[in-house]
Amino acid sequence: MNDTPAPVFKAATLDGARHGFFGRQGGVSTGIYASLNAGTGSDDDPEAVRENRRRIADAMDVAPTHLIGVHQVHSPTAVFVDAPWIGDRPQADALVTKTPGLALSILTADCAPILLCDSHNGVIGAAHAGWKGALGGVIQSTVDLMCAHGADPTRISAAIGPCIHQASYEVGAEFQAQFVSAKPDYADYFSPGAAGKFQFDLPRFCVARLNAAGVQGVEVAPHDTYADEAHLFSHRRSVHRAEPGYGRNCAAIAL
């Protein structure tokens, strides 16, 4: 039986690289983690997570050891990788490589996974952009590191995978104030919500940050992680349900 999961989204902008945005279908985890939970930091059965990640690696046509991630900490830090890690993964929120056969991976459960490719120069990147990382500069850091290894920003294409969308992303006034204090124009990414709240447009903010870094070819997945329970994990949904944990979606890209 074929146990290779299908990605929930693939982007036309990334035709120059193997890639996929994987959701919750096609794995072996059960309960609140059903079924393709890729989160090594979750409280899921570690053997189930290993099998899920093996299936994602198979879908990417790489060895499980070559599905590379980082210890994500909502930072602006991007790291270059040319071989599987020896020892602990670095604390960072983006990866860049020029090495064929390595699949860069990002885990998300409402934050925006961003995959980038300059197929002409053979450089790829993957970034974890929650609101904090996006505001703090992780997208610019990723593009800068790609360019330091030979990429041309005008040749970089990008895709923003499934993440929480504006209709589901209610935030308080203090959240909105952090953005407006950084740059008054950032108020444009908020719409009025109920009772003094706001609705934040994370994917559109990420598109703007990519454009500011020189990347113009950007595709955005239509999937809202919070709203699409059948296909995607969501941290916010799990919190609203008072569940004890949540699974992680996986985005991956390889040359």
Virtual torsion, Cα 180, 183, 186, 192, nearest 10 deg: 20
Q: What is the DSSP letter of 9?
A: B
Dist. CA 71–CA 250, nearest whole Å: 14
Dist. CA 68–CA 169, nearest whole Å: 29
Whether 55 contacts 4, CB under 8 Å: yes
Write down the mean pLDDT value for the chain.
Answer: 97
- Parallel/antiparallel/unpaired status of strands 190-192 and 198-200: antiparallel
Which residues, other chains included, contact 188 with Cβ-Cβ below 8 Å and sequence gap of 6+? none
Query: Tens digits of per-residue pLDDT, 136-186?
Result: 999 999 999 999 999 999 999 999 999 999 999 999 999 999 999 999 999
Report CA 116 to chain centroid distance, whole Å.
11
Query: Tens digits of per-residue pLDDT, 69-78?
Result: 999 999 999 9
In this prediction, residue 1 has a pLDDT band, given cuts at 50, 70 and 90, of very low
Mean local confidence (pLDDT), 105-115: 98
Whether 77 contacts 91, CB under 8 Å: yes
In this prediction, residue 13 has a pLDDT band, given cuts at 50, 70 and 90, of very high
Which domains does the chain carry?
Answer: 12-165+201-254 (3.60.140.10)
Dist. CA 32–CA 14, nearest whole Å: 31
The pLDDT value given to residue 16: 84
> What percent of the chain has a predicted confidence (pLDDT) above 90?
98
In this prediction, residue 61 has a pLDDT band, given cuts at 50, 70 and 90, of very high
Query: What are the tokens at 141?
Result: 């850091």
The pLDDT value given to residue 2: 65
| CB neighbour class for 155 (10 Å; exposed up to 12, middle 13-18, buried from 19) | middle
**Tokens 């994987």 sit at which residue?**
22
Query: Tens digits of per-residue pLDDT, 22-51?
Result: 999 999 999 999 999 999 999 999 999 999
Query: Tens digits of per-residue pLDDT, 113-136?
Result: 999 999 999 999 999 999 999 999
Of how many residues is the chain composed? 255
Whether 254 contacts 30, CB under 8 Å: no
